[in-house]
Structure 1
Amino acid sequence: MDRGAKGIRRRLALGMALLTASGLFALAAPADAHAAAGCSGRKVRTLPFSTGTLHVYRQGRYVCAVTLAENPGRERTMSASVQARGHRPVARKGKRTHRIGTPLVYAGHRCVRVAGEVGGGSTSSGWILC
């Protein structure tokens, strides 16, 4: 076998190893990373309430929140909001079956207040992440 064929085989083997490793990392990712649905960063708070859970994520100086329904399936009113101190709240509200989230909100080094609602149940945090 000539040297060119060995080099090609070696590159193919390396490529397959990298694809396999990236697939394993994707499978090993925490389940809540997929629950965020657009919220990036690390989870910094979880606020459970009677009809759902509010998850708060921080990425650098940005914060976002995702409200997840306790029993997904039927459509109901859901909301999530983030307010940096000194600014207006950024909120999303609508009829959903499983989750709703806010966009990333610039908080800088300010405290934030988050709130979430599913059906008749709701939660809010007061000032956090100060």
Structure 2
Amino acid sequence: MDSGAIRRRLGAGLAVLTASVLLAVAAPGSAQAAPSSCTGRQVRMLPFSTGSVFVYKNGGRVCAVTVQKHPGTKRVVSVGVQARGHVAVRKSRRHARSSLPVEVYAGHRCVRVSGSVGSGKYTSGWILC
């Protein structure tokens, strides 16, 4: 194969790769994609009227983050996690997409998760028992 054919194939491959990356970044409906600020596996997605609370577990640690249903407008976004027998840890901020993540060590305890976006809010019962 001559060098011109190799260059053409590399150029075509690069064009396909660039197009696929651009489509992945600009894909519609990605507003509700799970946030990447928590480690571990996603164990729950708890939707409510103005957003969703994503819950992750990594060993004995539980992490949660709230994401707006329609990102773009700055609203007060908050999240909280409480391991049974311990005080709740809450974070809140005014943001256009999501809250800061909250991570607690729960071990094998049940946890209660809460989240809010603007006037909509969600509070779970004891979960992950």
| AA at the equivalent of 2:85 | G
Query: Given the two structures, how large is their TM-score scaled by the length of structure 1?
Result: 0.71
- Aligned match of 1:61: 60
Normalising to structure 2: TM-score of the pair?
A: 0.72
Aligned 1:7-86 pairs, distance under 5 A: 35-86=34-85
The CA deviation at 1:94 is 1.2
> 1:76-115, CA deviations, whole angstroms, 9 ceiling, x for partnerless residues?
1110010000101111111011011333210011000000
Deviation at 1:124, TM superposition (A): 1.0
Whether the aligned pair in 2 keeps the contact of 1:113 and 1:128 (CA below 8 Å) is: yes
Q: Report the Cα distance in structure 1 between the residues aligned to 2:113 and 2:73, rounded to whole angstroms.
A: 24
Q: Give the superposition deviation at 1:36.
A: 2.5
- Structure 1 runs of 4+ aligned residues shifted over 6 Å read none
How many matched pairs?
A: 99
User: Identity over aligned residues, as a percent?
Assistant: 52
How many angstroms apart in 2 are the aligned matches of 1:115 and 1:124? 4
Q: For residue 99 of structure 1, give the secondary structure of its aligned residue in structure 2.
A: coil
Q: Take 2:66 and 2:75, find their aligned partners in 1: how far apart are those partners?
A: 12
Task: Say if 1:58 and 1:64, in contact at 8 Å, map to a contact too.
Answer: yes
- What is the deviation of 1:57? 0.4
> Which residue number corresponds to residue 96 of structure 1?
95
Name the Cα RMSD after superposition: 1.6
SS in 2 for 1:68: strand
Per-residue CA deviation, residues 15-68 of structure 1 (Å, 9 max, x unaligned), is xxxxxxxxxxxx8xxx8xx73232010011111100001110000000011101
| 1:85 partner letter | R
